[in-house]
Amino acid sequence: MLEAILLTVITAATPLVIAALGELVTERSGVLNLGVEGMMIMGAVSAFAATQITGSPYIGVLAGIAAGGAFSLLFGFLTLTLVANQVATGLALTILGLGLSGQLGESFVGQPGIKLQPIVVPLLSDIPFMGRLLFQQDLIFYLSIALVVGINWFLFKSRTGLKMRAIGDNHASAHALGINVIRTRYLAVMFGGACAGLAGAQLSLVYTPQWVENMTAGRGWIALALVVFASWRPLRLLAGGYLFGAVSIGQLHAQAFGIGIPSQVLSALPYVATIVVLIIISHNRRTTLINTPASLGKPFVPER
């Protein structure tokens, strides 16, 4: 029983972790993209459609990544090239993604999906209890762990990562030192979009292998809150992602056990937890200010 619950927690947490990691990198460069929900839903519909057309969920994964990355380019063009307001553009991107995905996925509603099968690691998968949890998972789960390790190394150990953090902290000083601020931010925004698309692909190919309109169900907003919860640090984000995943699954098991609480209240638990966490974090303003990129959300126009 415990093993089955933990397996569902992992599946529920994986898209949150991946989407939040992409947004973390984007925000570390000084760009605030509130369009995570829109990029996730576009990744979900593109992954499902590509899988149905080709019969290969791996091509679907690539399609989801490409859709998220392409959608993020629209955000990048508007905010980095045309210097539009980042908050308003991100919200518009989410609204556009939700509407466009519903239109594109209309013909796929009700069709049975092709699930991305788990990768069984020989010998290690036979370890009692832990074997099934860690070594019989799908490709996207393994990618999420690799992303956490890789991004943590990139941000705090690599020269390029340190340059990107410098841009996020003070884009004017970084520009004066010869760092290409706009190019770096474009790459960060595209990476964030690709991660959101991958998270969306996980939803339509692993979590619930089917297409349902608005199937992201606010997960993009939870991913945004996760970045703040983790103080813009990947390892903390991983822990937070699994905490939020456990809350999401906990309310489902509570309903299954017939706990005398209205189902609407239980369904709201993940979002209530998000609000509570943000309130707690807001009280520790010193820690928040130390870790928040100082140029976050501020437009940059290079001197000509």
In a domain, 254, yes or no: no
pLDDT digits (tens, 9 = 90+) for 112-131: 989 999 998 888 888 888 88
Under 8 Å between Cβ of 277 and 229: yes
State the total domains in the chain. Answer: 1
Location of structure tokens 């200010």: 289
Is residue 208 situated within a structural domain?
yes
What is the model's pLDDT at position 125?
84
What's the pLDDT score for residue 146? 97
In a domain, 243, yes or no: no
Report the distance separating Cα 273 and Cα 282, nearest Å: 14
Enclosing domain of residue 213? 2-118+134-217
Q: Is residue 295 part of a domain?
A: no
Helices 57-76 and 36-54 pack at an angle, to 10 degrees, of 150
Q: Please state, as a whole number, how many other Cβ atoms lie within 10 Å of the Cβ of residue 72.
A: 30
pLDDT number for residue 93: 96
Q: Is residue 69 one of the residues assigned to a domain?
A: yes
Q: Which CATH number does the domain housing residue 159 bear?
A: 1.10.3470.10
Instruction: Select from 57, 38, 83, 58 the least CA-distant residue to 196.
Output: 38
Look at residue 210 and tell me if it is in a domain.
yes
Which has the closest alpha carbon to 48: 201, 151, 190?
A: 201
pLDDT attached to residue 292: 85
In a domain, 291, yes or no: no
Residue 286 within any structural domain of the chain:
no
CB 35 within 8 Å of CB 97: yes
Q: How many C-beta atoms lie closer than 10 Å to residue 17's C-beta?
A: 29
Listed as ranges, residues in the chain with pLDDT below 50 are none
